[in-house]
Structure 1
Amino acid sequence: MFVIEPMPPQIPDDLVALLERVETATVGHVLHSGFVDRRIAAVLPGKRVAGTAVTIRIPHADSALLHWLTAEVRPGDVVLVDRCGDDRHACWGGVITNAMKLAGVKAGVVDGPATDFSEIVRVDMPMWCRGPSSITTKLLGLEGAVNVPVSVGGQVVHPGDAVLCDESGVIVLDPARARAVAEKAIAMQENEIVLLDRLRRGEKLPDISGARAMVEAKRVR
């Protein structure tokens, strides 16, 4: 059985642009939730992309629904794949990479392995996964679901969520609070530029951060 829900509304272009100014590690100073398992890592380090979550759940060795989805995705989407715990079969390879890239998909995030990394590099398709595998899925036509809540890297993802991916990881945000999170993170990044300038001018980090005062206040003498 295949469950197909409607494609979610896409987050505004200006919010996407704002999020793409943010480092996920900066958000990590503010939030402790929303992050997918750090072992879901970038195939192309140095990429930072944001977009609208399109979710898909496919079991084990069956990738028929992922093939189907390549005709439905839109420019600006980020496809997040729940593999139902399967860490053996690579559902995303060279053909899917090309089909998703041609459709304008911003990135793929797979809670499992992928394959054909050289093709991912050649096509320049931002991709996050649990590493490579030579064992691939097949067109079995068994079951799956599109645009339902899924679990990716221990994180619940809803269709239409805002997704931010970079070399440090992937974070999923409620679109209603994504702008506030992004603005706070950007302010922190701007403050960091000032901090680095102070270091270059000779100040010491523990004096700027307050760590020296904390340690000295409780130092055993």
Structure 2
Amino acid sequence: MSNLVYKLNPMPPKLPQDKLDRLAKLETATIGHFYHYGFAAPAIQPVLPGKVVAATVTTLAIPGLDSTLLHHCLSDVGPGYFMAVDRLGDTKYACWGGGVTRMASLMKLSGACVDGPHTDTAEVIEQDFPMWSRGPSPVTTRLYDTGGGFNVPVSIGGAAVLPGYAVLADESGVLFIAPEDLDEVLALGEEKTEKGRINEAKISDGTYLGEMSGASAMVQARSQK
């Protein structure tokens, strides 16, 4: 039987919850100081403010006008998973709307992002569902049965993503982390967060940012030449 139309792979194992709990205490912007992989394009923004999700990624790739596979595979997801939807280059047709949000909420999906638009913003807000997209669109997909892939390699805002990756999504954007990088990212992120707290306290106490960062010394050294 050919799998050229629908590529259906099993759900990836969940990442250890203790690591995801640690990840949820970090910020994507903090990790962005030292990690350069897996950041989705800034155009992919939160639909709801104040949401933070750290979870295991399940992936989906569906073509422009067709959301058949999305409707089908929502029955396979559940708590602890974050669905990353690759729209295969389409930025016009919204595959994710009120009905999909309601089903995702009932399945207790931790959150989702679409590399494309969503629709029915009011219903996403009503369901209080953590959602990231490229913005709203009134033009929606249909059930054309043209195909797609579930738990396949995808591209989300230029980031290469595999099922089973970790995700951290917050108000600054969406970051995907390969499992083999997660321990080091957590350690460096926690160290960077603590240093940030110390530096914030110094600034509040009157230390100038340029003095603390060394930028003022660099400018002064150049100015004296």
TM-score normalised to structure 2 length: 0.95
| Structure 2 CA distance for aligned equivalents of residues 189 and 143 of structure 1 | 43
| Structure 1 CA distance for aligned equivalents of residues 107 and 180 of structure 2 | 26
Q: What residue number does 2:193 align with?
A: 189
* Aligned pairs (5 A) from 1:36-51: 36-51=40-55
Q: What residue number does 2:102 align with?
A: 98
CA deviations over 1:109-159 (Å, ceiling 9, x no partner) = 100000011111111101000100111101111110101101111111100
Q: What residue number does 2:85 align with?
A: 81
- Note the C-alpha offset of 1:198: 1.2
RMSD (Å), alpha carbons: 1.0
Unaligned runs of 5+ in 2: none
Q: What residue number does 1:160 align with?
A: 164
- Note the C-alpha offset of 1:197: 1.2
- Note the C-alpha offset of 1:179: 2.4
Moved more, 185-194 or 122-131: 185-194
| Structure 1 CA distance for aligned equivalents of residues 63 and 47 of structure 2 | 23
| Structure 2 CA distance for aligned equivalents of residues 179 and 164 of structure 1 | 14
| Structure 2 CA distance for aligned equivalents of residues 118 and 203 of structure 1 | 45
Of 107, 127, 131, which residue of structure 2 is paired with 1:123?
A: 127
- Identity rate, percent: 44
| Structure 2 CA distance for aligned equivalents of residues 101 and 186 of structure 1 | 31
Q: What residue number does 1:177 align with?
A: 181
Unaligned runs of 5+ in 1: none
Residue 94 of structure 2: SS of its match in structure 1?
Answer: coil
Aligned length: 221
Of 72, 79, 82, which residue of structure 1 is paired with 2:76?
A: 72
Q: What residue number does 1:15 align with?
A: 19
> After TM superposition, which residue ranges in structure 1, 4 or more long, deviate above 2 angstroms?
none
